[in-house]
Structure 1
C-alpha cells in the first residue's frame, strides 16, 4: 500500500508546543500531535471502493495488513505524524469556547490525480480536545456515518467521503438517551476523507483569543490551498474568501432541502469552509414532510436545527464566521453586504429547486404560488416526502385531477384518514398543476426524466440504517453492503431494491434510532 503523502497543514500552521496527550486548553496553535490508541482486535467490515480509488489505492490494498494497521490506528504510516485540530464554536447558539477534534485524529494528507485529500479517523482515542469524552465511537454511529457519507455523495450533495468502516474489538460505554442508563456497545472507527476538515470554528477560536497573527496565517493558508481562484490581495482577498464560503454553504443547504436531509446539529464547529456536509451525528431524512422536524433529541425542545430552519441557521453561522474574519478586514459594511445577500439568493435558488422537483420550467408568480400551496398541502396529512416527489413524475398532463391525485396517494401514511376537505384541497392543487403542465412544451417523458434526476427514489432512512446496525451488532454485515450498493444509484429504478422504496414502517415511528437520535456516539 503506497500513498503520496503531503503534510501541508502541519508544515505551515503552528503546532501545539506540548506533546503529551492530556485534555487541556491549547493556545497559540492550530493543532496538536497525537497518536491513535491501538485497538485490541480491529477488523475491516466495509470499504468504499470508489473512495479507495479516489486516494490512489486498489481493491487488493484493502485486504492488506498495512491497510488494516493504518486505518485502525494500530500503526502510524511512514513519514507522517497524526494530529488533532484546534477549533471553537457556537453550539445551539451559545459560545462554547475551545472544542477541537475530541474523537477525530487526522492521519495525513495525500495527493492523487492532482487532488489533495485529508484522511481522518473518527473513534481512534483521546486527544487534548476530548474534554469529558473518551475519544472513541460506537458501531451504530459509525455505520450511520459511513453509509450516509457515501449516500450523500451519490445524491449529489456536497459531503465528506468515507473510506472504510472497522470494528475495534473493544467495548465503549455510552448513554444513548442521556437518561442515566449507560451500557457497553461495540467500538468502531470510520476513516473520513475530505479536501480538509477546516471549519468555521477554526477561525472563531483564533479570533476569540485575539490571536490575529495565526488567524491571518490560517486564512492565507486556506485560500492559497483550497481557493486558488482567489487572486486578490489585502482586504479584498478575505472578503472574496468569505463570499465564496457563503455561496458554497448556500448551495449545500439547497441540496439538503432538495433531498429532505436534516443535519441535526448545525453548530459552527460542524460547518466546513468547503461547503461540504461534515460530522454526521443525529441526522435524519424527512419521512413525512415536516418543516418543524429535527432528528436530534438534544434539540427536541427548541428545534433550532429543524428542517425548515436550516438556511436561517446557515446564515447565523456565517455571521459568526464574518465576526471571526472581521479583524482581517476591519470593515463591517462589505461583510454585511454579503450576509444581506444570502437570504434573497437562497430564496431564488430554493424556488428554482422546488420548481425542478415538480417539473415546472418557468418561474413566475403563478408557479411560485403553486410551490407555496404544495408546501402547505404536504403538511395537511402525514405525507412521505421522498415517495410523493418521486411519484409526482408519473402524472400525465392529460390526467384529470382525480387521476393525478391517485398517482401520489401511496405517499400518504394514513390514506383512509384523509378528510374530504383535505382531498378537495389536493384536487384544487392538481387542477392548477395540470394547467401548468399542459402549458409547457416538454413532453411527459422529458419532464419525468428531469424530475427523476432531482428527486431520489432511495435515501438512507433512519429505519434502514437501524436495521443494518442491529444486524451488524450480531456480526452480520451483509445489510451494510446491500444498502451501500442501493444508495450508490439513488435516482435509478433498481427493481431488485424496490422494498427500500417504502414508507417508514409503524414499528420505526417511535423506536430509538429511527424517530430521533442523540449525539451519543
Structure 2
C-alpha cells in the first residue's frame, strides 16, 4: 500500500511544543502531535472502493494488512506524524473557547491526481483536546457517520467522505441518553477524508486570543493551498476568501433543505471552510415535513438547530467567522456587505431549488406563493417529505386535482387526520399545481425525469440506520452492505430495494436512535 504524502499543514504551521497527551490549553499552535491508541484486536467491517481509489489505493490495498494497521491506528504510516487540530467555537450560541479534535486524529495529507486529501481517524483515542472525554467512539455512532457521509455524497450534497469502518476490539463506556445509565459498547474507528478539516472555529481560536500573527498565517495558508485561484493581496484576498466560504456554505444549506437533512449540531466548530458537511453526530432526515424538528436531544428545548432554522444558523455562524477575520481586514463594511447578500442569495437559490423539486423548468416569480402554500400544507398533518416529492413526479398534466392528490396520499402517516378543510386546501393546491405544470413545455415524462434527479427515492432514515446498528452489534453486517449499495444510487428506482421506500414504521416513532439522538458517541 503506497500513499503519496504531502504534509503541508504540519510543515508550514507551528506545532504545540509539548507532546504530553493530557487535556490542557494549547497556546500559539495549530495542532498537537499525538499517536492513535493501538486497538487490541482491530478488524475491517467495510471500506469504500471509490474513496480508496480517490486517494490512490486499490481493492488489493483495502484487503492488505497495511490498510488494516494504518486505518485502525495500530501503526503509524512511514514518514507521517499524526496530529490533532486545535480550534475553538460557539456551541449552541455560546462561546466555548478552545475545543479541538477531542476524538479525531489526522494521520496525514495525501495527493492523488492533483487533488489533496486529509485522512483522519475518528475514535482512535484521547488527545490534548479531549477534555473530560476518552477520545474513543462506539460502533453505533461510527456506523451512522460512515454511512451518512457516503449517502450525502451520492445525494449530491457537499460532504466529507468515509474510507473505512473498523472495530477496535475494545469496549467503550457510554451513557446513551445522559441519564446516569452508562453501559459498555463495541468500540469502532472511522477514517474520514476531506480536503482539510479547517473550520470556522480554527479562525475563531486565534482571533479570540488576539493572536493575529497566527490568524494571518492560517488565512494565508488556507488560501494558498485550498483557494489558490484567489490571487489578490492584502485585504482583498481575505474578503474574496470570506465571500467564497459564504457562497459554498449557502450552497451546502440549500442542498440540506432539498433532501430534508438536519445536521443537529451546527456549532461553529462543526462548520467547514470548504462548505462541506462535517461531524455527523445526532443528524437525521425529516420523516414528516416539520420545520421545527431537530434530531438532537440536547437541543430539544430551544430547537436552535431545527430544520427550518438551518439557513439562519449558517448566517449566524458566518457572522462569527467574519468577526474572527475582522482583525485582518480592519473594516466591517465590506464584511457586512457580503453577509447582507447571504439572505437574498439564499432566497433566490431556495426558490430555484424548490422550483426544480416541483418540476418547473420555466421559472416564475409567482412560484414562491405556490411553494409557501405547499410547505404550510405539508405541516398541517404528518406528511413524509421524501415520499411526497418523489410521488409528485407521477402527477400528469391531464390529472384532475383529485387524481393528483391520490398520487401522493401514501405520504400521509394518518389519513384520518385529513379533515374536510385540509382536503379542500389540498384540492385547491393541486388545481393551481395542475395549471402551473400545463404552462411547462416539458412532457410529463421529461418533467418526471427532471424531478427524479433532485428528489431522492432513498435517504438514510434513522430507523434504517438503527436496524443496521442492531444487526452489526450482533456481528451481522449484511444490512450495512445492503444499505451502502442502495444509498449509492438514491435517485434510481432500484426495485430490488423497494421495501426501503416507505414511511417510518410506528415502532420507530419514539425508539431511541430512530427519532432523536444524543451527542453520545
TM-score (norm 1): 1.00
1:214 maps onto 2:214 in alignment: yes
Map 1:116-515 onto structure 2 (within 5 A): 116-515=116-515
- Which 5+ residue runs of structure 2 have no aligned equivalent? none
Q: Encode CA deviations 1:181-213: one digit per residue, 9 max, x unaligned.
A: 111100000000000000000000000011100
Deviation at 1:306, TM superposition (A): 0.2
SS in 1 for 2:438: helix
SS in 2 for 1:192: strand
SS in 1 for 2:41: coil
Aligned counterparts of 1:509 and 1:42: Cα–Cα separation in 2: 35
Deviation at 1:421, TM superposition (A): 1.0
Aligned counterparts of 1:135 and 1:72: Cα–Cα separation in 2: 14
Aligned counterparts of 1:97 and 1:380: Cα–Cα separation in 2: 41
Aligned counterparts of 1:439 and 1:64: Cα–Cα separation in 2: 58
User: Which range moved further: 46-55 or 357-366?
Assistant: 357-366
Aligned counterparts of 2:213 and 2:437: Cα–Cα separation in 1: 58
Aligned counterparts of 2:4 and 2:285: Cα–Cα separation in 1: 37
1:18 maps onto 2:18 in alignment: yes
SS in 1 for 2:366: helix
SS in 2 for 1:439: coil
SS in 2 for 1:455: coil
SS in 2 for 1:210: coil
Aligned counterparts of 1:294 and 1:380: Cα–Cα separation in 2: 18
Deviation at 1:49, TM superposition (A): 0.7
Match in the other structure for 1:33: 33
Aligned counterparts of 2:111 and 2:365: Cα–Cα separation in 1: 49
Count of paired positions: 521
Deviation at 1:120, TM superposition (A): 0.1
Deviation at 1:153, TM superposition (A): 0.2
Aligned counterparts of 1:445 and 1:362: Cα–Cα separation in 2: 16
- Which 5+ residue runs of structure 1 have no aligned equivalent? none
Deviation at 1:366, TM superposition (A): 2.5
User: Which range moved further: 361-370 or 106-115?
Assistant: 361-370
Deviation at 1:20, TM superposition (A): 1.5
Aligned counterparts of 1:19 and 1:460: Cα–Cα separation in 2: 40
Runs of 4+ in 1 over 3 A off after TM superposition: none
RMSD: 0.6
Q: Encode CA deviations 1:444-475: one digit per residue, 9 max, x unaligned.
A: 01110000000000000000000000000000
Aligned counterparts of 1:95 and 1:444: Cα–Cα separation in 2: 52
Match in the other structure for 1:104: 104
TM-score (norm 2): 1.00
Deviation at 1:417, TM superposition (A): 2.8
Aligned counterparts of 1:51 and 1:130: Cα–Cα separation in 2: 28
SS in 2 for 1:142: helix
Q: Encode CA deviations 1:469-498: one digit per residue, 9 max, x unaligned.
A: 000000001111100000000000000000
Deviation at 1:418, TM superposition (A): 1.2
Map 1:21-100 onto structure 2 (within 5 A): 21-100=21-100
Deviation at 1:367, TM superposition (A): 1.4
Aligned counterparts of 1:7 and 1:307: Cα–Cα separation in 2: 38
Aligned counterparts of 1:401 and 1:439: Cα–Cα separation in 2: 16
Aligned counterparts of 2:194 and 2:236: Cα–Cα separation in 1: 27
Q: Encode CA deviations 1:261-290: one digit per residue, 9 max, x unaligned.
A: 000000000000000000000000000000
SS in 2 for 1:6: coil
